[in-house]
Chain A
């Protein structure tokens, strides 16, 4: 666990020193909500439409973060330095996934507030605990698949193309489950919590892809 913590600390320090991923994801999210506001020609959205707008926007914002995940390692030669260390290479996966999870959580703090102000019709407060749970599970999915795809893409010349082409289809089940779980929370009538069925689907997705990524990550880094 210590190598993962060292790697995560380094990534957080780099993002604090030279912010790249978080401002880009944040700006993208807020801009997209503004575009939806005008594009849909509606002042307010609710239910399934609101859930779709929020989750799809977060998914595309996450793609920006996934694209940048290994850039510091690649551009600055740090990758070789890490690969030379006597550590389990899955420590790198754990650190990158944890870093992306934290980046997404920080972005969502602002993005969800902006969504509530710019687009959301019903009050977000009653469904907030449920929304936090759904977004946490969605973030795990984005972080796990993102770290995996980013490691795959960084070894190719077409990194910026590979990430969305591979990540979006892989993340489609998670997006569907997150949108379905969120929809009742944004209903005008309100709901006490997200449907258990879709939460379970999301949790199962996290578990399956978490184990899969853990198993194959080492091979992705082999030359």
Chain B
């Protein structure tokens, strides 16, 4: 891991009220690498992604994302991050095309990119339907389009293949998979699948680091242990 770090966390903490959702989390992710975060529900995975996305401020420790310290220069990180969260971050009464055009304007992305992504995700036929009429799988594909619309160097992916059938999972691969060449932080509950796409594995339990190692050094059984 000699490449410059895209993410550098040292003792980062984040609390909700009195409860620490993240506590003393340290990890370094080189540019272009994939960090897969494992952990049971409530372990702090989504909170970690939201801190990295600048949507939550860290309450302790030092955080650097894409070379910028948080929260001091969080504005310099916005627009360079693609977040695929549990919620699609789409307006349900607007169509996929309208949602993506709206985000394209905010990110100063040329509109042809919207049509290109809709074609690539095989959504052109449903692109003008309100997103509230789309299935969970189709909605997830639109959300993937939104996350990569502005070609961000860092992708934060919260269980990106949830709700997708195998064909759709294959479809999104060039955009958010390893082949995209982007730095990725991916949360997963699938030890074997997660480790297969990871360069580095991070296990969280109750907001604290329970496992942190290069993925090649981690056996699926060690990940499964996090859930017991």
Closest chain B residue, CB of each to CB of A16: B93
How far, in whole Å, are A80 and B102 apart by their CA atoms in the complex?
14
Which one, B79, B80, B92, B106, contacts A76 given CB within 8 A?
B92
- Residues on B with C-beta less than 8 A from A18 are 93
Closest chain A residue, CB of each to CB of B106: A85
How far, in whole Å, are A222 and B70 apart by their CA atoms in the complex?
13
How far, in whole Å, are A7 and B83 apart by their CA atoms in the complex?
20
- Residues on A with C-beta less than 8 A from B80 are 86
Quick one: CB contact mask for B105-148 with A, threshold 8 Å, 1 for yes? Answer: 11110000000000000000000001000000000000000100
Once A2-B105, A84-B53, A85-B106 are accepted as A-B contacts, the answer to whether A14 and B83 lie under 8 Å apart by CB is no
- In the complex the two chains form, is B146's CB within 8 Å of A13's CB? no
Within B86-116, the residues touching A (CB, 8 Å) are 87-94, 98, 102-103, 105-108
Closest Cβ of chain A to B129, distance in Å, is 12
- In the complex the two chains form, is B91's CB within 8 Å of A72's CB? yes
Number of B interface residues at 8 Å Cβ cutoff, please give it: 29
- Residues on A with C-beta less than 8 A from B91 are 10, 14, 72, 76, 78
How far, in whole Å, are A80 and B156 apart by their CA atoms in the complex?
13
Is residue A109 within 8 Å, beta carbon to beta carbon, of the partner chain? Answer: no
- Residues on B with C-beta less than 8 A from A76 are 87, 90-92
- In the complex the two chains form, is A3's CB within 8 Å of B90's CB? no
Quick one: CB contact mask for A90-102 with B, threshold 8 Å, 1 for yes? Answer: 0000000000000
Is residue B81 within 8 Å, beta carbon to beta carbon, of the partner chain? Answer: yes
Is residue B56 within 8 Å, beta carbon to beta carbon, of the partner chain? Answer: yes
Which one, A17, A72, A87, A222, contacts B106 given CB within 8 A?
A87
Is residue A39 within 8 Å, beta carbon to beta carbon, of the partner chain? Answer: no
Which one, A17, A77, A83, contacts B88 given CB within 8 A?
A77
What 5 A-B pairs have minimum CB-CB distances, sorted nearest first?
Answer: A86-B79, A77-B87, A6-B105, A85-B106, A81-B89
New contact pairs (12) apart from A7-B106, A10-B98, A85-B107, CB-CB < 8 Å: A6-B106, A10-B91, A10-B94, A18-B93, A76-B90, A77-B85, A78-B90, A80-B83, A81-B146, A84-B53, A84-B81, A84-B83
Q: Which residues of A contact B (CB under 8 A)?
A: 2-3, 6-7, 9-10, 13-14, 17-18, 72, 76-78, 80-87, 222-223
